[in-house]
Amino acid sequence: MNDAVNINKNITVTIDGIQTIVPEGTTILEAAKKLGIKIPTLCHHSDLKPGATCRVCSVEVKGQRRLKTSCNTPVADGDEITTNSKAVREARKTIIELILADHPQDCLKCVRNGNCELQKLAYEYQIREVPFERTVKDLPIEDSNPSIVRDMNKCIKCGRCVEVCQEVQQVAAINTSFRSGEFKISTAFNESLADSPCVYCGQCITVCPVGAITEKDDTDRVWEALDNPDIHVVVQTAPAVRVAIGEEFDMQAGSIGTGKMVAALKRLGFDKVFDTNFTADLTILEEGNELLQRITEGGVLPMMTSCSPGWINYIEKFYPELLPHVSSCKSPQQMFGAVAKTYYAEKAGISPDKIFVVSIMPCTAKKYECTRPEMRSSGYQDVDVVLTTRELARMIKQAGLDMGALHDEEYDDPLGTSTGAAVIFGATGGVMEAALRTVYEVVTGQKLENVDLKMVRGLKGIKEAEVDLAGTKVKIAIASSLKNAKEILEKIKAGECDYHFIEIMACPGGCLSGGGQPFGTTNAIREKRLEGLYNIDSSLKLRKSHENPAVNKLYEEFLEKPLGHKSHELLHTHYVGRKY
Amino acid sequence: MNDGLKKEQILGIIEKKNGEKEQILSILMEIQKESGKNYVDKEWARIVADELGIPLTKVYDVLTFYAMFSTEPRGKYVIEVCNSAPCHVVNGSAVVQMFEEELGIKMGETTADGLFTLQYVPCFGACDIGPAVKIGEKVYGNLTKEKVTELLNSYREVSTCQK
Amino acid sequence: MSKVMPLISANCGKIRPDSVEEYINVGGFEGLKKALKMEPTQIIDEIKNAKLLGRGGAAYPVGSKWQQLYNIEESPKYIVCNADEGEPGTFKDKLLLEKDPLRIIEGMIIAGYVFNSQDGYIYIRGEYEAIQKGFQSAIDNAVENGYLGNNILGTDYCYNLHIMTGAGAYVCGENSALLNSIEGKAGRPRVKPPHLAEVGLFGMPTLVNNVESFANISTIISIGAEKYLSYGTPESGGTKLVCLSGQVVNPGVYEVPFGVTLRDIIYDSELGGGIKDGKNLKFFHLGGQSGPCGSLSQLDTTYCYKALRANGLNVGSGAVVVMDESVCVIDYLKYVTEFFIHESCGKCTPCREGNKQLYAILDKFTKGEATSGDYILLKRISDVMAKASFCGLGQAAATAFNTCLKNFRSEFDAHLRGKCPAGVCFTKQERGE
């Protein structure tokens, strides 16, 4: 094509009087950023295709009658662009005011207060009053599911959530509908999320610029439990939380906040602070053995991982015929709940009905997972409440704890011990790497010298590899995001799949960018959190799940052996196709 | 399944259009016409989504975006009254009143017998004979009180004959 | 000299619309036969020389559009005819679609031949459902007679035409929205770039022209660019179908050569025939609801692209809605704005929110509740709509308002003082309700 973009071609543009050279195809927004000029945006998200709908990023291009949106307009050779003229400022201000006229403006009562892109813009443009007629409607708030709350009164119709749900995840639970003033983001026929294909991955939350989509806040239930002296409240923290929680307290993305987080949890009053990493190691022993059993005994292959509840919801709703491929292992969070209310209860001498298990998760689907009727192996709901990383941060702030000033503390015994293999569960490819570290040694009987299996690392959506286990070739694949999962599932359906083992995570990049993580997740931040997880792994002495002494003790004292009777009772589950 | 259309009928309509995704507008128009109540039910939309291999949310977007579709049952005959400026300046609002009086309903409502729904639509290109209304494929212009009465009676008669 | 010039509307009402035989008897398919003996570039040159400007409203030079698509190497290329005529006051495409479909088909075949396209699509608005049937019959007859389908007129050229229906969305007249609609999606406009010539229908290079533009093609080829150009003004070739409606004696579609005046169109006895019921003209609205409103002082403007533009007016779709002195400008604008509120796709802020707010303030004027401060707000809204809307719909939605405010400021001021000169507004207060 003659007009194809040639990235090797350079273009000279002048922005606000400063000349610069950028590669062809660079947008005005990117070119301006290079010059230290920040053009305000609202609907734009660096990971998503530009929608150019809010029009806040409009700028003047000399010779053009109309303003141009900088998020999607590539610079042309010789362009003279003005980003801060009177006309531009006035247009932006009017646009912000028009948006606000159709917005509740109840910032004080909003979960995004202080962390809202619209609020920030209104502040920057010093909006003191909105001169236009208030047109905001009184739409009902949808909160009839355990994970996600949608308040469409606050929606500014940027379309990011639609892009994520339709294109990145291809779940298509929500979409645009209607037009003009009625234009909205909705499910089909306005059905509840529970009746829709929604899998509660919460990726829509992470891209929402305002408070229109949020997690269901369960902090009050946790405060209540903590305030009750008759209840023994234990908490588990998922691997990916520790490399993201710092972002809520102005630390660099990817900084390792494990010790401070443990200290904060203890200050909040949790009776025991445990680690989901413990049951991540346990998962490897169960799942690794399940894989070997399937391979040697002719079970259904490829086997697929089952840690990600968004993924489980997805396959149950979209591909129920492939459920036999999914490992019967519960997710580490649910294994933890079952172990806490049985093994730990017994050991600590506390009746399980007095134990309250809280999970800190990077995930919104976990909130739904813990309410599943099959997740009551202890005789009680195994995990009582799931809080997202964001909710934990809220509690720490409410308690007035200065995260930066807290001294690192250690997890409690016995469910606080873990290996490097467990912490990398938080990244796409991590479960696979952890499993391979163990399976290799179990199968070959040899020590795996180099545990850094780099071929399964990184944010790439689909990764494939072949591993040689003393002559047995094991073919593996790793997918993150449901669009990529779908690609693999279609291959399996078509019989074009000779993998043995597949790791699937619902969220792009894995749990580190789950729907419960701090706002502002972008690919750049994903990279940082990823780096944080692998840094923790490499800093540890024990890096293979089967070397976890506490897990081994659990088998000795309680479970007996992987895939044993008790394991099946407590650590494994079953799935059902779910119509939507 | 909803009382109006059977699954086989919907599959037949889709089949006629070779099950092509891009024929969705024409498929939904046909379903709406065949429904007898000028609408597309959620269950029918779901069949369309499944057969065309597109998410239901995309069918819903189409149904709610285009003004000719309704997701709620309407009268057997939808009387579409033009409320664009060219008809307005030639006394369009008087025509609205005539229909409202003659039918005993307000704009946007359906008669109790389910025969007529009265609704506003934008210009349908009959400005030279405004004020104009459209019922199904037929356009009626230069409307007067007498013509409105006559028109409604003719539809009532057709409907009685069909019974 | 007659002010009417039936060139492309000559067959309307004179032949059975779907009859290939009758169409041929009045000179039909001559343009196509000639074109099939020409090189594609010669055809494009002929159209360029005829200075045919797009008749949908934007007046983009058709020859240049064809040239741009021709320069793109990727294939297949699609031909699309925009028959989503939705501008209130416009019904000229309807005339052609209904009375002379084979002329449109001929134009589309010539375009198909130029770009070696295998498929052409005509997107006809859902409201023209009855017309779609007649058009399909014309296509079927053309196929039967060897003008469409395989080996057209014994050549190697194969080409099929498909009718696609709209379902009630004015914004689908915007070409990228129209392509989305043909693909079976909601008809919201696409982000540009990429442009449609590069990434159009089903992601392929695509030509989109209006019905009237296609209807001109065969005439240009058969009579030649020079002759064609002689009917218009030096920069606006040919004729234009104008649609007269409102308070005019003879509403209807008329084909006029560029170069007549607005006064001719409204008052000439062969055309509008003056104002109904012996009343006086107050203003006229050109080119559809997205076009400008003109006043008496602009009546002697020549009807051609250049002169109208110089006077702040526009050919647009060819609509001429005529209003007499009984019409209140602000009340009229409320109806115009209501139309855009109904038709905005809703995706961009200026159009979705702007039209609502524009209406709210106009409503205040008609209720005697407006203040002078509202002028500032009106300007801010209309500015941001014109300058920052996503597509042509929002950009043009405040054009009528802007031109009315310019031409009829005194009427706005009168409303501020609680008076409606036309006696339309405040009637409730006056009646003491």
pLDDT in tens, C100-126: 999 999 999 999 999 999 999 999 999
How far is residue C42 from each of residues A116, A523, B127, C45, C210, measured CA to CA in Å?
A: 59, 52, 40, 5, 22
Find residue B72's DSSP bridge partners. Answer: none
- B157 and B122 fall within a common domain: yes
Instruction: Name the residue with tokens 């499910």.
Output: A187
Residue A202 phi, psi (nearest 5): 75, 10
pLDDT above 80 (res C34): yes
Specify the pLDDT at position A301. 95
Query: From chain B, which residues contact C within 8 Å (Cβ)?
Result: 21-26, 28-29, 52, 54, 58, 61-62, 65-69, 83-86, 88-90, 121-130, 134, 137-138
Specify the pLDDT at position A2. 42
- B61 and B83 fall within a common domain: no
Which of the residue ranges C80-89, C372-381, C422-431 would you say has the lowest mean pLDDT? C422-431
Residue A82, SS3 per DSSP: strand
Min Cα–Cα distance to chain B from C164, Å: 8
Beta carbons of B138 and C243 less than 8 Å apart: no
The structure tokens listed for A449 are: 């010298």
DSSP string across A521-547: --HHHHHHHHHHHHHHHHH-S--SGGG
In chain C, domain spans: 20-230, 239-324, 329-430
- Among B39, B65, B91, the domain boundary falls at B65
**DSSP 8-class letter at C275:** B
C223: CB partners within 8 A, 6+ apart = none
The percent helix, strand, coil of chain B (3-state, each to 5) is: 50, 10, 40
Let me know if residue B29 belongs to a domain.
yes
**DSSP 8-class letter at C260:** B
By Cβ distance, the residue of A166, A177, A182 closest to B60 is: A177
- Helix (H) or strand (E) segment spanning residue C96: helix C92-99
- B49 and B83 fall within a common domain: no
Let me know if residue B153 belongs to a domain.
yes
Overall domain count for chain B: 2
Which domains are seen in chain A, by residue range? Answer: 10-84 (3.10.20.740), 100-215 (3.30.70.20), 220-571 (3.40.50.1780)
For residue B15, count other CB atoms closer than 10 A to its CB: 12
For residue B154, count other CB atoms closer than 10 A to its CB: 11
Residue A158 phi, psi (nearest 5): -75, -25
Residue B75, SS3 per DSSP: coil
Q: Neighbours of B (≥3 Cβ pairs closer than 8 A)?
A: A, C
The structure tokens listed for A573 are: 């589950």
Give the integer Cα–Cα distance in Å for A526 and A529. Answer: 5
Give the integer Cα–Cα distance in Å for A475 and A465. Answer: 6
Residue C100, SS3 per DSSP: coil
What residue of A is the nearest CA neighbor of B61?
A: A177
C-chain CB neighbours of A178 within 8 Å are 346
Min Cα–Cα distance to chain A from B52, Å: 15
Specify the pLDDT at position B1. 42
Beta-strand ranges (E) seen in C98-171 are: 119-124, 160-165
By Cβ distance, the residue of B68, B83, B86 closest to C246 is: B86
C281-286 and C319-324 strand pairing:
antiparallel
Let me know if residue B54 belongs to a domain.
yes
Specify the pLDDT at position A4. 55
How far is residue A306 from each of residues A360, A369, A487, measured CA to CA in Å?
A: 19, 12, 17
DSSP string across C327-394: S-HHHHHHHHHHHHHHH--S-SHHHHHHHHHHHHHHHHHHTT---THHHHHHHHHHHHHHHH-SSHHH
**DSSP 8-class letter at A164:** I
- C residues 186-205 lying closer than 8 A (beta carbon) to A: 186, 188, 191, 193, 198
C-chain CB neighbours of B122 within 8 Å are 86, 88, 170, 339, 342-343
Q: How confident is the model at residue C232 (pLDDT cuts 50, 70, 90)?
A: confident
- Among B65, B95, B110, the domain boundary falls at B65
Which residue numbers in chain B have pLDDT < 50? 1-2
Beta carbons of B57 and A179 less than 8 Å apart: no
Give the integer Cα–Cα distance in Å for B66 and B68. Answer: 6
CATH number of C329-430: 1.20.1440.230
Closest by CA position to C392, among listed C317, C333, C320: C317
Query: Domain limits at B92?
Result: 77-162
Q: What is the dihedral of CA B38, B39, B44, B50, to 10 degrees?
A: 110
Q: Which long-range contacts (CB under 8 A, 24 or more apart) does C56-59 make?
A: C56/C82, C56/C173, C56/C209, C56/C210, C56/C212, C56/C213, C56/C317, C57/C87, C57/C173, C57/C210, C57/C287, C57/C288, C57/C290, C57/C291, C57/C316, C57/C317, C58/C392, C59/C305, C59/C315
CATH number of C239-324: 3.10.20.600
Give the integer Cα–Cα distance in Å for C186 and B61. Answer: 6
B-chain CB neighbours of C244 within 8 Å are 128
- B122 and B81 fall within a common domain: yes
Min Cα–Cα distance to chain A from B121, Å: 15
By Cβ distance, the residue of A173, A175, A189 closest to B42 is: A189
- B91 and B50 fall within a common domain: no
- B23 and B97 fall within a common domain: no
Let me know if residue B71 belongs to a domain.
no
ipTM: 0.96
Give the integer Cα–Cα distance in Å for A35 and C244. Answer: 54
CA atoms within 13 A on the CB side of A258: 20
Let me know if residue B129 belongs to a domain.
yes
> Mean pLDDT in each 10-residue stretch from start to end of chain A (580 residues)?
63 97 97 97 96 98 97 97 97 98 97 97 96 95 97 98 98 98 97 97 98 98 98 98 97 96 98 98 97 95 98 98 98 98 98 98 98 97 98 98 96 97 98 97 92 96 92 93 98 94 98 97 97 98 97 97 97 93
CATH number of C20-230: 3.40.50.11540
Residue C274 C-alpha from the chain's centroid: 24
Give the integer Cα–Cα distance in Å for A182 and C352. Answer: 9
Contact A183, C347 (CB under 8 A): yes
The percent helix, strand, coil of chain C (3-state, each to 5) is: 45, 15, 40
Instruction: Name the residue with tokens 């009928």.
Output: B9
The percent helix, strand, coil of chain A (3-state, each to 5) is: 40, 15, 45
Q: What is the dihedral of CA C285, C287, C290, C295, to 10 degrees?
A: -30
- B89 and B155 fall within a common domain: yes
Chain A interface mutation, best of C348, C377, C389, C402, highest count of A Cβ atoms under 10 Å: C348
Instruction: Count contacts between A and C (CB, < 8 Å).
Output: 120
Contact C276, C75 (CB under 8 A): no
- B47 and B86 fall within a common domain: no
Residue A505, SS3 per DSSP: strand
**DSSP 8-class letter at A78:** T
Beta-strand ranges (E) seen in C184-251 are: 206-210, 239-246
pLDDT above 70 (res C431): no
For residue A368, count other CB atoms closer than 10 A to its CB: 23
For residue C162, count other CB atoms closer than 10 A to its CB: 15
Give the integer Cα–Cα distance in Å for C46 and C33. Answer: 15
Dihedral of alpha carbons A478, A479, A485, A491, sign = negative
Sort B9 into a burial class: Cβ within 10 Å, 0-12 / 13-18 / 19+.
Answer: middle
Instruction: Name the residue with tokens 């494990």.
Output: A258
Residue C382 phi, psi (nearest 5): -65, -35
Closest by CA position to C339, among listed C218, C170, C102: C170
User: Domain containing B108 — which CATH number?
Assistant: 3.40.30.10
A-chain CB neighbours of C191 within 8 Å are 49-52, 72
Min Cα–Cα distance to chain C from A12, Å: 19
Q: How confident is the model at residue C433 (pLDDT cuts 50, 70, 90)?
A: very low
Cis peptide bond N-terminal to A352, omega within 30: no
Specify the pLDDT at position B95. 94
- Among B43, B65, B87, the domain boundary falls at B65
Give the integer Cα–Cα distance in Å for C361 and C367. Answer: 10
- B121 and B143 fall within a common domain: yes
Let me know if residue B42 belongs to a domain.
yes
**DSSP 8-class letter at C190:** P
Give the integer Cα–Cα distance in Å for C187 and A178. Answer: 11
Residue A458 phi, psi (nearest 5): 105, 165
Min Cα–Cα distance to chain B from A159, Å: 13
Let me know if residue B70 belongs to a domain.
no
pLDDT by residue (tens digit) across A268-326? Answer: 999 999 999 999 999 999 999 999 999 999 999 999 999 999 999 999 999 999 999 99
